[in-house]
Amino acid sequence: MQGKTSSDLPPGFRFHPTDEELIIYYLRNQATSRPLPVSIIPEVDIYKFDPWQLPEKAEFGENEWYFFTPRDRKYPNGVRPNRATVSGYWKATGTDKAIYSGSKYVGVKKALVFYKGRPPKGIKSDWIMHEYRLNDSRKQVKQQNGSMRLDDWVLCRIYKKRNIGRNLEEKVEITNTQLEKPVANDASEQQMLKISKTCSLSHLLEFEYMGSISQLLNDNTYNPSLDFQNVMSNAGTGTDHAENFQLGEMATHYTNSGKFQVNQGNLLNQPLFVNPMVYEFQ
C-alpha cells in the first residue's frame, strides 16, 4: 500500500524529517511492507549510480534526496557492505550515531563521503550520505545459498556539501581589493602618499607646494586664542624679524578634535601630528 504521492502534496510542502521520524515512520514501515505517510522516497539501488546521477532518480527534493536502497555483501561470508559505485566508492567517516525514540533504541545513523577512483587513492568529493538502518536490520535477511544480500532496505539521505570556507575566502579577497588605496596619478600625489602621519615641522617646511604654515593652521578647528596670522604680520617681512620669532613660544594644543598638536619647546625637533583626512594626506 502507498500513501500520498508527490503529485498529491499541498503547495509549499517541505520534507525535513528528523532522524527519529525517518526510522519510525518511513524505514520501519518500508521494511515491514506497511504504508508510508507520504510516498516520496523511491526504491533505488544507489550503488549502481554515482551520486551526481541520483537527483534525477529522486521523486522529491532540491538540495537533498532520499532513497530506499538494499545493501549487498562485500564478501560472501562477511557482513561488510559493498559500497563501490560506477566510478568511485562511499567511505564511512566518524562514528555511528544511535537513534532513540524516547528511551528505546530504534536505529543507527552512519555518515559517509564519496571518493572518486578506487581505494586507497580515491579523491574526496563534496557528496555526503547519511545512511539509516534499523537496529535489528541484520535479522531481516536470512542468507541463502549464493546470495550476497545483506539488508533488504536501508534509508539514505544524499546531498552535496557547500564549501563555505572557500566562498568566505573569496568574499574576503574581494573586500580587501575594494579597500585598496587608489594609485597616484602624478608625481605630486605620489610624494604626498609617502608623508607619514607623524612628522616634524621641519619636514613639512620642505614641501613648497603645501603653502605657508598659516594656511595649514587656518582650519575650522583653529583655536581662536592663537591668531597665528596676526603674529606673522606683526613680526614683519624682514629676514631679521622672522628669525626673532620663536616658534617655541607657542603653548597651545590642537587637541579638541585630535587633528593638530603642538608641544612647547623647539617645534623643529618635536613630532607634529597631522590628520591626513584634513590635509589630504592619503
Tens of pLDDT, residues 169-220: 556 565 555 555 455 455 555 555 554 445 555 555 555 445 555 555 555 5
Cα-flanking dihedrals φ and ψ of residue 141, to 5°? -110, 125
- Is the pLDDT confidence value at 137 over 50? yes
pTM for the structure as a whole: 0.56
Sorted by where each begins, the domain ranges of the chain are 4-162, 184-274
- Band (250; pLDDT cuts 50, 70, 90): very low
Cα-flanking dihedrals φ and ψ of residue 172, to 5°? -65, -40
Share of the chain above pLDDT 90, in %: 41
CATH topology (fold) of 4-162: 2.170.150
Tell me the C-alpha distance between 240 and 58, whole Å.
Answer: 95
The position carrying cell 525514540 is: 101
Could you read off the pLDDT of 142-166 as tens digits, one per residue? 555 567 888 889 999 999 998 765 5
Mean pLDDT taken over the chain: 73
Tell me whether the omega of the peptide bond preceding residue 120 falls within 30 degrees of 0, making it cis: yes
Could you read off the pLDDT of 71-126 as tens digits, one per residue? 999 998 888 999 999 999 999 999 999 999 999 999 999 999 999 999 999 999 99
The strand order across the sheet containing 123-134 reads: 64-72, 149-160, 123-134, 104-116, 88-101
At 124 the pLDDT is 97
At 180 the pLDDT is 54
- Is the pLDDT confidence value at 236 over 90? no
At 8 the pLDDT is 74
How many other C-beta atoms lie within 10 A of the C-beta of residue 188?
A: 11
